[in-house]
Structure 1
Amino acid sequence: MPKPLDLVFLWHMHQPDYRDYASGDFLLPWVYLHAIKDYSDMAFHLEQHPQVKGTVNFVPVLLDQLEDYVQQFTTGQIRDPLLRLLARENLNDLNTAERNLVLTSCFRSNHKSMVAPYHAYKRLSDLYKMLEPGGDIELTYLSGQYFSDLLTWYHLAWCGESVRREHDLVIRLMGKNEGFNYNDRKWLFDLIGQIVGGIIPRYRKLAESGQIELSTTPHYHPLAPLLLDINSASESIPEISLPHSKCYSGGKSRVQAQLLSAQKSHQTRFGVIPQGIWPAEGAVSTELLEVFAAQACRWTASGEGVLANSLRTAEHNLPDRANYLYRPYHLQGEASGVRCFFRDDRLSDLIGFEYSRWNGKDAALHFVSQLELIAQQAPEGEVPVVSVILDGENAWEYYPYNGYHFFANLYSELQAHSTISTTTYSGYLDRRDAAEGTQQLAKEGELPRLVAGSWVYGNFSTWIGSPDKNRAWDLLCIAKQSYDLVMVSARLNEAERLVAEKQLASCESSDWFWWFGDYNPAHAVESFDRLYRSNLMQLYCYLKLPVPVILNSPISQGSGLPEAGGTMRRGS
């Protein structure tokens, strides 16, 4: 007889801040591109399956940028260079920088799933590859019509499958194939504005119906345990190489400020204070959970490796994961009020990395069968709670049709299943609080300690420990010391102080450190290296201090991977 199981999906939505605060321009287009593809598709699948519940985590800095784009479309003052070009009437007079922007941006997609399937788009790519070795001279043969077609196809390819199915314009333009004119591009531009403007209201409506829970992350996605204590990286890797800087000064107050800002942002946008916090990169430590507890956070979550490190002792090997993974935990002491859930890495990574190569129906059935097996293996009298946590935006371009058939089948199977119950973390905790011994639920565990780590390998090696990453940390720590000195002086007025603090928060994002490393594509390493240094330079400018000369040179000393025609999957 099938046994019951509780399933929580947590879809993490995040992009770092791509705005140049000095010019107001967006330096990279990923926020609006993921909005028209992934954020819209993920909302669509939930809307089509109202009995499927889950948790969606929006990082406030992503919401800030989505609202920024909404304002741009409303006012007509477009500050994203690619969008400006899409809506530009005459593309025959592009200057060299504009031509290079289009050519370096509009093939930066997964070639197999987003370029090759469309004959006209692939022909544009082939033509560029033929001329590109000849440099700028041969590229000048590309006409305004070429750039019109390329800009149009790039944005058509980034439209989510639900957008294509719900808006005839997309299919009509794809059917036209080539020779796109200004009206075509303006219609597509207007549709992009409509979709972007609908993202936050759609998720708010799903939350108000009780189908999803919305959680948040400290505002700019900082690697909070390292801000609190850089040495916490050695808890999971004792031999790790650390930056020269011994600490990030005032780290606790910075984490508290980013958390309070996130909670305020969430309440303003969604009308409620979030009950749960997904920490950036699933990175946790005892000190961080104490900060969460002080702000009445009800739940948080992290990776399976963190739990394994925290339970493992020199005297005892871990039991089978069925006997420890699928339950909530708490710590003793100041953090005891925060319930902590841990990701099933295998199931989450099947969705993130494996199922894109499967038939959608087969993948859905396999996933459900794995859940049924977990239920059967659960300790007698316990109903396991399984956490499937991954980025809600970066895996789908590797799937046929942006994962449409996988999600349609998966959610349909789960909606009809007799013993698997999808839920949210707060909904699950509500049931525990109301049960009072009348229901069989997962046993709650108490952690004797929490070994600091993240959802990637259970440690912080993705963000610290290599020469490039450590250099990036040292530059941030030095900038923070300068920030502290200025803040105790009378150099800045109140408005200037707020601008500087916002800039510092952007510099604290975990994303900058993630991208350093020669395992990432060279073009991505270069872009994020430049953007990170630009953010630090701007911080010094806002502090009215000279910009250190060292920031003119790339941080990364490695060459990176050669460009492969696709984007690197961010996160786990």
Structure 2
Amino acid sequence: MADVALLWHLHQPSYVDAATGEVAMSWVRLHTVRGYADMAEMARRHPGVKLNFNLTPVLVQQIEELAEGRVKDRWAELARKDAASLTTEERHQVLEHFFKINWTTCVDPYPRFRQLLDLRGRRAGAGQSDQNMRRFREKDLRDLQVWFNLSWCGFAVRKKHPELGELIQKGRDFTEEEKGRVLEIHQEILKGILGEYRALADSGQVELTTTPFYHPILPLLVDTDVARRAMPGVRLPERLQAPEDALAQLEKAQAAHQRVFGRKARGLWPSEGSVCPELIPLMAKAGFEYFCTDEMVLFRGLEAQGWQGNHSELFQAWRVEEGGASLKALFRERPLSDYIGFTAARTDPKMAAEHLRVHLQHIAQVMPQDGIVLLALDGENAWEAFP
């Protein structure tokens, strides 16, 4: 069987409104109590499995800000407010935002949550309808405030807090106190999640990597004209060349990683996997030893040099040299990575596992003896789709 490296990419853009200091959307909090907590728990359940997690600096920064109460979470404030005191505009916001979760796996299985969705309506824009809003009594709004935040809690949080299971069994007619407790649990998870990942890294089971701090497309910072190498006819704005800014993004990411996790990152997942040769000296100067990106970066780079090999070249580490600097590079196997992220949830679990096993077994027959298969994918958005 092939040696496999699993890299889970945990990322969210900044949702903080610079004008108000409020978090406009709660995706950082919600993914924390679901995917991030669940993946840490799965790692603990399988201590013999080595894993890699890429945590972007902007995501980590937002988790810290939310955990420490330095920013206000607009959706959390909407949920926390007594249902009897919600204004008309706030009621519309609750109906608009509090069904933003996978309906098939996280709404329809729960009779009361499904009833509330049907009461509002399933068509786009239903939350803005005055007629739909008037159907909701105070207790309906309160139940919706609870169910939205309750259904986002993954199996790890439910295991840690059995009272959540009791609320699921209760199903309806929640109290303000019960609603407050669900939100308290969200806050507890936010306060502890980064420590969980640091503990996993300290144990040696997990390696944590990072991304340029504000998630820039680094080649375009180095030189916007780099885009023409892949897209000769592309229209570009006035040329920008800021390699010093690209280096600052890498160094700022390293400083944040060391502060939060106690050590610098050895590996880098460049924003959107974007790379160019000029980045190699900058990555090395910032202290990185390797980077990971997509298989097409390798294939197109080799094809530009007249390569006529086969895809077995993918399944190994490469050494990339430029400007006197040298880094290792791993390129992800895209089809299997995408299968896990986009298709496996709609497949019978045993069949999905067999699909992966058969394909990895085939790869093992053609890969170099000391080769490796990198499966790298989004570590958060896929999990809503899994039952």
For the pair 1:226 / 2:213, whether they are aligned, the reply is: no
Structure 2: tracts of 5 or more residues without a match: none
Inter-partner Cα distance in structure 2 for 1:38 and 1:343 = 22
Question: 2-side partners of 1:215 and 1:333: how far apart?
Answer: 22
1:19 and 1:164 map into 2 onto residues whose CA distance is 28
Equivalent residue for 2:14, pick from 12, 17, 36: 17
Structure 1 distance, partners of 2:337, 2:383, is 13
Verify the 8 A CA contact 1:330 1:336 in the aligned structure 2. no
Q: What is the SS of the residue equivalent to 1:61? A: helix
Cα drift, residue 366 of structure 1 = 2.6
Distance in 1 separating the partners of 2:108 and 2:230: 43
**CA distance in structure 1 between the partners assigned to 2:36 and 2:65 by the alignment:** 16
Shift of 1:315: 5.0
Q: Deviations over 1:139-172 (max 9, x none)?
A: 2342222211111111111111222233211111
* Structural mapping, 1:81-92, within 5 Å: 81-88=74-81, 90-92=82-84
- Looking at structure 2, the residues matched to 291 and 315 of structure 1 have their Cα atoms a distance apart, in angstroms, of 27
Corresponding residue for 1:31?
28
Q: Report the AA paired with residue 126 of structure 1.
A: D
Q: Which amino acid aligns with 2:376?
A: I
Distance 1:130 1:294 in 2: 52
The letter of the residue matching 1:259 is: L
> CA 1:242 to 1:169, structure 2 compared with 1: closer, same or farther past 3 Å?
farther
Distance 1:68 1:343, change over 3 A: same
Name the CA distance, whole Å, in 2 between partners of 1:162 and 1:79: 25
Partner of 1:372: 361
**What letter corresponds to residue 320 of structure 1 in structure 2?**
N
238, 253, 270: which is aligned to 2:261? 270
Q: Which residue of 1 aligns with 2:133?
A: 139
Q: 1:134/1:202 Cα in 2 relative to 1: closer, same or farther (>3 Å)? A: closer
Mapped contact 1:93–1:144 kept (Cα < 8 A): no
Shift of 1:119: 1.4
Of the three residues 189, 203, 206, the one matched with 1:209 is: 203
- Aligned mates of 2:299, 2:356 — CA distance in 1: 23
Give the SS at the match of 1:190. Answer: helix
The change in CA–CA distance for 1:230 and 1:92 in structure 2 (over 3 A counts) is: same
Query: How many angstroms apart in 1 are the aligned matches of 2:132 and 2:7?
Result: 48
Deviation at 1:133, TM superposition (A): 8.9
Aligned pairs (5 A) from 1:260-299: 260-299=251-290
Q: Is the 8 A contact 2:7 2:52 kept in 1?
A: yes
Classify 1:316/1:297 alpha carbon distance in 2 versus 1 (closer, same or farther; 3 Å).
Answer: closer
TM-score (norm 1): 0.64
Alpha-carbon displacement from aligned partner over 1:347-387 (angstroms, at most 9, x marks no partner): 101111111112223322331332222112224xx222111
Q: Distance in 1 between matches of 2:8 and 2:358?
A: 21
Equivalences for 1:48-447 in 2 at 5 Å? 48-72=45-69, 79-88=72-81, 90-129=82-121, 132=126, 135-239=129-233, 241-243=234-236, 245-248=237-240, 251-313=242-304, 315-317=306-308, 319-322=309-312, 324-334=313-323, 336-379=325-368, 382-400=369-387
Amino acid at match of 1:278: W
Counterpart-to-counterpart distance in 1, 2:45 and 2:79: 31
CA distance in 2, matches of 1:280, 1:195: 27
Q: What CA distance in whole angstroms lies between the structure 2 residues aligned with 1:313 and 1:286? A: 14
Alpha-carbon distance in structure 1 between the residues aligned to 2:3 and 2:127:
55
Q: Could you tell me how far apart the structure 1 residues matched to 2:202 and 2:112 are?
A: 43
| Greater strand fraction, Structure 1 or Structure 2 | 2
2:40 maps to what in 1? 43
Q: Deviations over 1:488-547 (max 9, x none)?
A: xxxxxxxxxxxxxxxxxxxxxxxxxxxxxxxxxxxxxxxxxxxxxxxxxxxxxxxxxxxx
Aligned with 1:337: secondary structure?
A: strand
Q: Secondary structure at the match of 2:100?
A: coil
CA distance in 2, matches of 1:153, 1:335: 57
**Secondary structure of the corresponding residue to residue 140 of structure 2:** helix
Distance 1:327 1:134, change over 3 A: closer
Deviation per residue, 1:400-419 (Å, 9 max, x gap): 1xxxxxxxxxxxxxxxxxxx
Give the number of equivalent residue pairs.
385
Q: Secondary structure at the match of 2:172?
A: coil
Q: Report how far residue 232 of structure 1 moved.
A: 2.0
Higher deviation after alignment, 387-396 or 308-317: 308-317
Any idea what SS the aligned residue of 1:393 has? coil
Instruction: Give the TM-score taking structure 2 as reference length.
Output: 0.94
